Amino acid sequence: MTTTTTTTPTSLNSMEPPPEMIGEVFEHCFASGNITGIQALACTNKQFNKSVAMFAETIKLEEFCPLLKIISAAQAQKCGFQAAPTSFFPKLKLINAYQAMSPHIENNAGVTYFNFTLQDDLTLRKIVEIAKSQGIEVSLWQQTLPEIGDVAIAQVFPCMLANNVFKDSRKKSFADQCTLVHEYGCELPTLEQYIIHIVLIQKISDQRLFGGDNSFLFSRSVTRVKNTPLLIGGPSQACIRVSSRNCNANKHDGAGGRRKF
C-alpha cells in the first residue's frame, strides 16, 4: 500500500525576502517614478514595509518634487490661523499625489501640501476677517455670508491643493469639471480652502494664485450658495473676488483640485 504525503506550500508572506531583491525592486520603481509600486511593495510583508519606510526617509522632496510647496503649522500661525502640526508626514503619498496632479496644472504652478490641522469652529466669516488682517480683502457675492458665513467648516486639512486650474478644465460645464478633477484623484476644493490657500501662498511666497496677469481667471469651488457653485479669483494681490456666475462653459472659469490625506 502506497502512502501519499501532502505538503502544504509555505506562505510567501512568511518568507524573508533577500535584501538584494528588495534593493533591486526599490531601484527599478524609483527610477521609473513608480511610487504606487513602492507603496504596494510595502504591503507585501513586514520586511518590505520596514525597508520602504527606511527608503522614504532618504528621499529629498525638493529634488523629486520641484514644484511642491509645504506649509507648516508655524507658517499658518504667522498668517493668523490657529493651526496645529499633524502627527505624521506621508512622504510617499505626497509624491504620488504630486505626480498625479502637477503635470496637468496651468503655467507649471505646482501644488501645495498643508501639513497642519485647523480649529474645528473656523467659519467663512472668520476666514474673511483673517484675510483682511493680512491685508487681503475678500469681495463676496452678497448672498454668501448670510447663507453660509457662520457655518463651522469641517476639518479640511491636511490636504494638497493645486496652485492653479487644470490645463484642460476651461470651457467645460461644472459637471465636466468635476469629472476631470476626479480623473486626477482629486475633488473640487471648498470656498474656504481656496481663501486660506490664497492668503497663505501670497503671504508666505508672494505668489498670486488663479489669475497672475489674467484678472479674469476664476476657479470653481464645490461650495454652493442658492444652489450655484461659487467661483473664486484674485484680481490683485490685495483682493480675492468670489463670483456666482452660472455653470455654463466659460474660457475664464477653470477648476483646481484638492487631494485629501
9-23, 26-40, 100-114: least confidently modelled range: 9-23
Rounded CA-CA distance 70/165 in Å is: 19
| Nearest-angstrom CA–CA distance, 80 and 133 | 8
DSSP-based three-state secondary structure for 137? strand
Residue-level pLDDT at 119: 80
Measure the CA–CA gap between 77 and 241, rounded to whole angstroms.
Answer: 24
CB neighbourhood size of 127 (10 A): 23
Is the pLDDT higher at 22 or at 252? 252
Q: In whole angstroms, how far apart are CA 195 and each of 28, 36, 88, 126, 210?
A: 41, 31, 25, 11, 11
CA distance 178 to 112: 20
Closest CA to 236 of 144, 145, 141, 138: 138
- Indicate the average pLDDT of the chain: 83
Asked whether the predicted pLDDT for residue 8 surpasses 70, the reply is: no
CB atoms within 10 A of CB 6: 4
Query: Grid coordinates representing 26?
Result: 526599490
Is pLDDT larger for residue 116 or for residue 213? 116
The pLDDT of residue 209 is: 82
CA 134 – CA 45 distance, rounded (Å): 49
**Residue 239: strand, helix, or coil:** strand
158 preceded by a cis bond (ω within 30 of 0): yes
Share of the chain above pLDDT 90, in %: 50
Q: What's the average model confidence in pLDDT over 92-119? A: 92
**Using one digit for the tens of pLDDT, what is the confidence trace for 29-49?**
766 667 666 666 666 666 666
Cell numbers 469651488 correspond to 221
Distance separating the N- and C-terminal Cα atoms of the chain = 63
pLDDT for position 200? 95
Amino acid at 181: V
Given a cut of 90, whether residue 163 has pLDDT beyond it is yes
Lowest-pLDDT choice from 17-21, 171-175, 208-212: 17-21
So what's the pLDDT on residue 6? Answer: 46
How sure is the predictor about 201, in pLDDT bands with cuts at 50, 70 and 90?
very high
Cell of 208: 498670486
